[in-house]
Amino acid sequence: MISADDFYKVMCAMVPLYFAMLLAYGSVKWWKIFSPEQCSGINRFVAVFAVPVLSFHFIAQNDPYEMDTKFILADTLSKAFVLFMLSIWCICKGELDWLITLFSVSSLPNTLVMGIPLLNAMYGQFTQSLMVQLVVLQCIIWYTLLLFLFEYRAATILIQNQFPGHTAASITKFEIDNDVISLDGRDPLCTESVIDDTGCIRVRIRRSISSAPDSVLSSSIGLTPRASNLSNAEIFSINTPARLNEFHSELAVGLGYRSTSPRLSGYASSDAYSLQPTPRASNFNELDTTTVTTTGVVTPSWARSPVVKMVWQSPGKFQGGGESGGSGAERQGYRDAVGEKDLSFRDCAKIQVQEGTGEMGTSTNQEMPRALVMLRLILIMVGRKLSRNPNTYSSVLGLVWSLISFKWKIGMPSLVKYSIKIISDAGLGMAMFSLGLFMALQPRIIACGTKMAAIGMVIRFLGGPLLMSAASLVVGMKGVHLHAAIVQAALPQGIVPFVFAREYGLHPDILSTGVIFGMLVSLPVTLVYYVLLGL
């Protein structure tokens, strides 16, 4: 039976975190204390330093040689079961998009920021080790797998658009330029293909720097979105022009270009969706290499290559006049970030597809390259994104140090220990503060509609705990460990899946609602589970 003291202990652990979030929300929404650029600076600090150091701190203190096998097995079994069932559904129905979204909603909670303090207050200190073990698995396995699925989807769309029909089956190798970080389409990409005398195709994928319309690039405000590379952090940020009245906050770290405009925020290469001007290059860069065989000699000839680029949709007018129609629709990706306040998390990034193709660009007679060719392409893209994420390094370094430390009983030097501690102590509070900024800067709390939000909440707060309880019973877990497993499955939506969804333009409104609305209802929901399990 849960006593009043137990309930008060939980509230003492959680109310300070929600107070930090409420303070951030009020400072932007009501009191107008922070400007968009100041919010960007706060979010960038949290994404680059606070959360990675916090992750390292928890992981380095956890003994990897005393992991709870049943707890880890139950968590892995529940996630694997969900993925298996969704995969069967995907094979039968061809719904890869919903496989990714439903897996994100049902199986990937906010374990680091919410799980550790909540479970520690409810069930004791031993749950911190359990939560850290789940954080390690999420960072190294599940987020990487999720990123793999997103990149596979993006690669499939790119191939279907640029190599329709049976052509793609002849591709034997992809060569990717070093500055191509992702196939998510936020940076316009183009391909250059060479056909040898055996009919095999070698494809080079590179950025398209001449895909912007002349009318946009000739203006003083030509803005090109760039890719974010967050993978494990539970927060994200955005680089924002100073003239924006509404700040579209995204708490993740990414890679970008050097700013060439004094009007832009000065967070050069580490903000997620930085909006930066790009000079127009020669149209020669858009040429595609084909081959012509003459007298047994393969001679490359150049032909203009199609460009895979994003269409950014906005409901209103551009700054400076004109409705968003006709040629204006082509310019939206470069103008609505400046001229529009409605920077919501709806599905605003859609790749142009050829006529006769389906929702994802699928065609009835579409063929794909061999599995090994696709696997190599996707692994390269995933590796590049992970290599630019500070949380990748913090998780790996924390795990390596814990293996060494607990194996040979080596303590961390006090100089290093307290240097890390001073940053990690602020990590939880700053993470919740950034979430408050994120909530305050959204045009609406429920971005996907009440019906879809209700479905998402049912999956998150009922489906997740039910699957986790079933998996826990299968592996024979009982008592307080079972209770902790069920409550952690009812934590709010993790932010990393939303960041990926926003980057790749896949149901970001659903994940956004899961983050914002889920954070508001998670505390009463987890308290209900806590009380019921304690009866």
DSSP assignment of 434-494 equals HHHHHHHTSS-S-SS-HHHHHHHHHIIIIIHHHHHHHHHHHTT--HHHHHHHHHHHTSPBP
Tokens of 413: 């030097």
Residue 69: predicted pLDDT: 93
pLDDT top residue among 232 and 40: 40
Q: Is the pLDDT of residue 454 over 90?
A: yes
Q: Is the pLDDT of residue 244 over 60?
A: no
Is residue 292 helix, strand or coil?
Answer: strand
pLDDT tens readout for residues 79-95: 999 999 999 999 898 88
For residue 291, is it left (φ>0), alpha (ψ between -120 and 50) or beta? beta
Q: How far apart are CA 76 and CA 250, in angstroms?
A: 29
- What distance lies between CA 242 and its chain's CA centroid? 25
Q: Is the pLDDT of residue 209 over 70?
A: no
Q: How far apart are CA 525 and CA 487, in angstroms?
A: 9
Q: What residues contact 29, with CB distance under 8 A and at least 6 apart?
A: 440
Q: How far apart are CA 273 and CA 298, in angstroms?
A: 42
Instruction: Work out the angle between the directed axes of helices 508-533 and 479-489 (0-180°, nearest 10).
Output: 150
pLDDT tens readout for residues 260-280: 333 333 333 333 333 333 444
With a pLDDT cut of 90, the percent of the chain lying above it is 54
Tokens of 409: 């009983």
* pTM, full prediction: 0.75
Is 249:29 a contact under the CB 8 Å cutoff? no
418 class by beta-carbon count within 10 Å (0-12 exposed, 13-18 middle, 19+ buried) = exposed
Question: Of 201-205, 248-252, 387-391, 521-525, which range is least confident?
Answer: 248-252
Alpha-carbon dihedral of residues 478, 479, 481, 483, nearest 10 degrees? 110
Tokens of 426: 């602020």
The whole-chain average pLDDT of the chain stands at: 77
Instruction: Dump strand ranges (E) for 261-331.
Output: 275-276, 287-294, 297-304, 307-308, 310-312
Question: Of 143-152, 178-187, 334-343, 499-508, which range is least confident?
Answer: 334-343
Is 349:505 a contact under the CB 8 Å cutoff? yes
pLDDT tens readout for residues 2-54: 888 999 999 999 999 999 999 999 999 999 999 888 998 998 899 899 999 99
pLDDT tens readout for residues 293-332: 333 444 343 333 444 443 333 333 333 333 333 434 343 3
Q: How far apart are CA 413 and CA 214, in angstroms?
A: 58
Residue 364: predicted pLDDT: 54
Residue 198: predicted pLDDT: 86
Tokens of 402: 């814990």
